[in-house]
Structure 1
Amino acid sequence: MRMLMADQGVEWKEEIVTHDTWQKGDLKRDAAFGQIPKFQDGNLTLYQSNAILGYLARNHGLYGKNPLEATLIDMVNDGVDDLRGKYQRLIYQNYENGKDDYIKALATELGHFERLLASNKEGQGFMVGDEISFVDYNLLDLLRIHLVLAPDCLSGCPLLSAYIKRLSSRPKIEAFLCSAAHKNRPINGNGKQ
């Protein structure tokens, strides 16, 4: 969400919820599904990362040029969510015992995205279509996180490696990634990487 908003020139105010604040229960009780992130735009309040991404995508022309592209974007985003879920289970439930097996399986997991990228403009552009979409931001975030976990995880994925460099060098994304707000934010709430 942050990279999307930064790249699209959307200004936002972020409120960090500390563990202590969350444990008080007021925010959790008010959240639609008892979890954050929470996004507000005027009178609209949204929860759930994909709902927020979809809202931002629709408002900024980042959901493909037609229904076919939108459907393909959804498909790729579901794959991103599947891998993010596996990553979160590792980080929060099985880090010590599962890290080695998770990293071994990454070649297969990332290979799916490498093949999908290759199928669109021979991997020289975006995941779907001719223009950046919300799934590109979501995948970029997840790939960057995995490079912290396993720095060599993209060694067999030259197109994804180039994709990360290409997207990360977009001027507004690059500025965001270099900002203190980004650099000082922990990757995971439990400190594991």
Structure 2
Amino acid sequence: MSSFNLVGRTVAILATDGFEQSELTEPKRFLEQAGAKTVVIAPGGAAQIKGWSKQNWGDPVKVDVALKDAQADDYDALVLPGGVMNPDKLRLEPAAIALIKAFDADGKPVAAICHGPWTLIDAGLVENRKVTSWPSLRKDLENAGAHWQDSEVVRDGQLITSRKPDDIPAFTTALIDALSATV
């Protein structure tokens, strides 16, 4: 894990019910250990969202900000956890896609893991970009114009993608490095 100090940095984590438990909680923990503040953003007015862990519902996570109130200007980077249900629901939320686009337009790091890159397709961020994801998304990403790679982490400018929970350390290190470069 990179040893950069991210004190004063705030990272948004956009998710909804069905996020892959470790893909939200572990990057959140690593970012906080590096000094960053993390803020969980979710659609609707729920006080918490529930994760998915292996083949069962996981633990709830507190929602800090409702999606309708979230502005990219308030954050330094965006994390998009996977899980099949989570990104599939988020890609149908116009406000979620608009927020993802705003982070990209501002040149801020956008980090998506596992099935998280599905939302990047809907935000129009993958054409002619190098990415990775859970293997079942490969054709979706390629059909959207992405150059898919089977690597634990792929960084193309401020776009960071990873394949699966095993890649979380490399994924988070790449995000911390990207945040450190924008100090």
The TM tier, using the shorter chain, reads 0.3 to 0.5
TM-score (norm 2): 0.34
TM-score (norm 1): 0.33
Greater strand share, structure number: 2
